[in-house]
Structure 1
Amino acid sequence: MDDSDDNRRTIAACEQCGSLYAALELSDDKIRPIGRRDGCRCGGTDFTAVDDSLSDLSLEDDSDE
């Protein structure tokens, strides 16, 4: 019994401040951050799914190059 068949996990950015959240892209094209029912900590409630264009960003520390 899976209620989320039409929902997709994604990464979403707050449109107001740019904070990133794990999120659900709902079947009605709305995006809801996981664990943040009231929206972003800045107060924003509109989110945009982050696309694969950010996949080339590295989280590793490259400071010794």
Structure 2
Amino acid sequence: MDESDGNRRTIAACEQCGALYAALELADDKLRPIGRREGCRCGSTAFSAVDDSLSGVSLEDGSGD
């Protein structure tokens, strides 16, 4: 996927536990963590976009699952 299909890469935070993920912002304004179609490791599927100006943020890599 690339940005030409209406999706853009961003950082998303789980609204339940606060875990951060690399995510796609879909054309319908929904966020989907990359590589985690089922949602967060805590079970939540609700995510909020994180401010793009943040730097040095450590993203979940899926290890330990």
| Band of TM-score, shorter chain | 0.7 to 0.9
Unaligned runs of 5+ in 2: 58-65
Aligned to 1:38: 38
- Identical-pair percentage: 77
Secondary structure of the 2:45 match is coil
In structure 2, distance between residues paired with 1:32 and 1:9:
10
Matched with 1:10 is: 10
Gaps of 5+ in 1: 60-65
Q: Could you tell me the TM-score, scaled by structure 2's length?
A: 0.74
Q: 1:3 to 1:49 in 2, by over 3 A?
A: closer
* Shift of residue 52, structure 1, vs aligned partner: 3.1
- 1:24-60: CA deviations, max 9, x gaps? 000000000000011000001000010135x2x656x
Asked if 1 retains the 8 angstrom alpha-carbon contact of 2:14 and 2:47, the reply is: yes
Q: CA RMSD in A?
A: 2.1
How many aligned positions are there? 56
Q: Aligned to 1:52, what secondary structure does the other structure show?
A: coil
How far apart, CA to CA, are the structure 1 residues paired with 2:51 and 2:3? 24
